[in-house]
Chains A and B, each alone.
Chain A
């Protein structure tokens, strides 16, 4: 429940960033650099005299876009691959499962960094990089569901009634496999957000001046001893978001999974 509230709040902030932020995220004030929190600047200013609070609000937007956007790509690749693999079976299954295994063998973050350095930094490329590396888990899960469900009696029933393979797949198998997919998407979102933060932290993520939490932490950490607020507030934002999504994921799983109740 807490998770859901925080997540909804984040979404709200992300959508209405323009209204909520007291300043523009590019507005600099060179005579007020690195100021600690004050009445003018609620969370202080950064090394360019920009309002940290406003930048964090816009940062939330980036995080949400990345989190959701990347999951869309993940689902668009992962679910069809998993479904085909599990449903059709045979040689196609063999090939696809091997592909998934190969993808699994790559250390995820390193692979993403590799892709980013090939594609270049930028929001779209982050989608692509996270999407291209993130679909394997969901594919594997979908496949497992397919294998389990396609042996169920109601599928036999549908087949006996003469339903086409496509109809069985779309009307009977996928809807029944939806729950684990939704759960894994909810867990995938924070992972994507964190990956973006990590990328921006090391400087291959979002290009300045667009604010991103990871980038803010990365730039702030060298000033940790002198200007603590630069690093601490965005870190808290990342941590809170991760935690909220994890709670939400747990909640969704509990709600959908009757066996655990």
Chain B
């Protein structure tokens, strides 16, 4: 069947659902992009097989034991693995399997469900559950498990913090808010063991996307009833995902075993997975010592691994397209003067500044990173804010700050985060001082405070990044800088002509013409200095040479486990070391 149409109102609802689960716009847009890119098969597209594809001369290792973590992955002890109760329990992501899952392109595909169908307007969804998969104790995974689990999440007695995620289900909200007490009125029902019928509050064409999220994972009824809060301890847990939890030494490590009852078990090659719980500060030390096969890298370690002739081939970049830029607030002195903004734009030697990020940033001359649709790499764009300290200083002529004098107190604000953001900010401070004699103080704010003040456009001078949500210029310009945005607008700067180009870009179908609109928008924004692009983000991981099977997305980049794509482990395998 064809996927029912998803209207704009429905997309807003989807955003609200995800938002209620603490997922930001970014995640929403990732999913939205996945929805948009779905082919004719819709939600019933088949997931990619996980079976290993050995290159000639490669042999599977006898011991299929894989170890990963570090560099920010699993850095805190999970509070539980009970995603059904709390999707932010920080538990292991492959223990449970939902009706749907996301593939490496962030599209929702069937998982525990075999088939997904809906009525015409998408207000009733029917999931046919596969009969060939079982819980790790050998019991069947049936539609009744999902009915029970979702009702458990909605049950006020469970006190699930993100229950509102399931409010699209008919009477889900009323039940969760104790307006009705009869759970049988909640719109999720197992018609028989293998058919789950979900009646929604209205047409929700995106519902399978929700069903693919961590929040929609099932829980094992008998275990919950027997062990209560302790049911996800290694001794008690019964799970239905590709892996089971063999041991969990709190604050030390988790060990997973392949779940032989999982339907895809024959394609899952790894037998055992070890995940140590280690702080970011440990860096790549465990990886160097061969205690990990896969890790995420921080600045200091990247440099070291790259300079090691053997290790450098193990390092890979993974997608995290993003842009770091400065926002001189156009409503606050001295940046209310466009000449000052231009001076700043020309005073920054980006090639030099990004050196301090040691590989985690590339010099940026525009909003869209190279290789993505709409990326501009012509001499004209490059010259818009080109580095020229003399020109920068001359911009100040006729302003009260001529010759770099009389600067008021200027505070450069950023949010507290890793990724080498602070050295970059300090480098910017130093070039502004050097080239414009502009003294700035760097203020690092706690993320929540930062966001609040940012959205009030209360900050004078901001150092900030935008991570691309989906590869389309609409995201990089409209979602970020559109002047008529009412919520989440970062900058006070607006420009009529700029907004018109964005609207035209949004409404144009012809690809070439569209990109022309965005190129024009970039030009306007750089000339009027609505922002000052500085650096493009890059992220790195490292995998030992015997690790195989990391999936690639459509852009051909390796994709690693995150909170949307959780399907990494079933695809991995280890080959014989040479």
Contact = CB atoms under 8 A, between A and B. Distances in A.
A208 B304 contact: no
B25 interface: no
A78 to B, nearest CB: 31
Contact of A219 (B281, B422, B434): B422
B422 to A, nearest CB: 7
Given A208-B442, A222-B283, A30 B429 contact: no
A102 to B, nearest CB: 27
A208 B426 contact: yes
B444 interface: yes
B430 A209 contact: yes
B304 A221 contact: no
Nearest to A209: B429
B353 interface: yes
B446 A117 contact: yes
Interface in B353-374: 353, 355-356, 358
B285 to A, nearest CB: 7
Contact of B430 (A26, A121, A225, A227): A26
A225 B300 contact: yes
Given A30-B353, A30-B355, A207-B442, A223 B300 contact: yes
A8 interface: no
Interface string A33-59: 100000000000001111000000000
B107 interface: no
A153 B160 CA distance: 72
Interface residues of A, number: 25
8 contacts: A28-B430, A28-B431, A48-B423, A48-B430, A50-B430, A222-B281, A225-B285, A225-B301
A89 interface: no
B71 to A, nearest CB: 12
A33 B356 contact: yes
- Main SS class of interface, B: helix
Interface of B: 281, 283, 285, 298-301, 303-304, 352-353, 355-356, 358, 416, 422-423, 425-427, 429-431, 433-434, 441-444, 446
A47 B301 contact: no
Nearest to B425: A208
Contacts of B356: 30, 33, 47-49
Interface in A5-26: 26
Interface string A120-156: 1110000000000000000000000000000000000
Given A28-B434, A30-B356, A225-B304, 13 more contacts: A26-B430, A28-B431, A47-B356, A49-B356, A207-B441, A208-B442, A221-B281, A222-B299, A223-B299, A225-B283, A225-B300, A226-B301, A226-B304
Interface in A203-240: 203, 207-209, 219, 221-223, 225-227
- Main SS class of interface, A: loop
A209 B442 contact: yes
Contacts of B422: 208, 219
B444 A203 contact: yes
Which 5 A-B residue pairings sit nearest by Cβ, starting from the closest?
Answer: A30-B352, A28-B430, A208-B442, A226-B300, A223-B300
Nearest to B429: A209
Contacts of A49: 356
Interface of A: 26-28, 30-31, 33, 47-50, 117, 120-122, 203, 207-209, 219, 221-223, 225-227
A33 to B, nearest CB: 6
Contacts of B441: 122, 207-208
Contact of B427 (A30, A121, A207, A221): A30
Contacts of A120: 443
Nearest to A31: B355
B423 A47 contact: yes
A26 B433 contact: yes
Contacts of B301: 225-226
B242 to A, nearest CB: 35
Nearest to A208: B442
A49 B426 CA distance: 11
Nearest to B420: A47
A181 B431 CA distance: 47
Contacts of B442: 207-209
Contacts of A208: 422, 425-426, 429, 441-442
Contacts of B281: 221-222
Contacts of A121: 443-444
A28 B427 contact: yes
Contacts of B355: 30-31, 33
Contact of A203 (B303, B304, B416, B429): B416
Contact of A209 (B304, B352, B426): B426
A31 to B, nearest CB: 8
Contacts of B423: 47-48, 219
